[in-house]
Amino acid sequence: MRNSVERWLIHESHSFEFVKNPENTFHILIKNAGKAGSPVEIFEPKNQPGVIVIGSKIVMKNNQIVRYLGFNPEEKERFEKKVGEYCYSLQAIHKMIQEDGKQKIGVYVILDDKVDINQQNLFHAVNRVSEMHEKTARFLLKTF
């Protein structure tokens, strides 16, 4: 699967780099994907062979992180629920992530059927994820 994804990216003239992640069979980062030019990751989890995950992480701004870290558990739960509902409205799988000392929100699309995993569907998913990245970032600025 890695070879196919790599070939498709080269064919579409995307610049990318490989990311070392022991949890994944392969992990590729496209720095500028979709119309919005968002960073998009494509990977195959080791524990789910045959599944490709396309995702992007929205880094919260420093003032948002400070505010989030000041929340009590109930406020954090309400905020995370609000983010979850918004991501659900975009048909995105989401995950709250703390990485590199930053709070991030990951939005993901999963291709898990052999029929779904082809060049056209992969790039459709990349464009969707890029768009979801931008919409979620705007949502955070407006509501938080």
Alpha helices in the chain (DSSP H): 2-11, 62-69, 73-89, 119-143
* Predicted local confidence at residue 144, as pLDDT: 79
Angle at 45 between CA 59 and CA 39, to 5 degrees: 30
Domains in the chain, CATH or no CATH each = 2-143 (3.30.1460.10)
* Model confidence, pTM: 0.88
Distance, in Å, from the CA atom of 144 to the CA atom of 140, rounded to the nearest integer, reads 5
* Predicted local confidence at residue 132, as pLDDT: 94
Average pLDDT, the chain: 92
Amino acid identity for residue 45 in this structure:
P
**Each residue's pLDDT tens digit, 63-90:** 898 898 899 999 999 999 999 999 999 9
* Predicted local confidence at residue 104, as pLDDT: 94
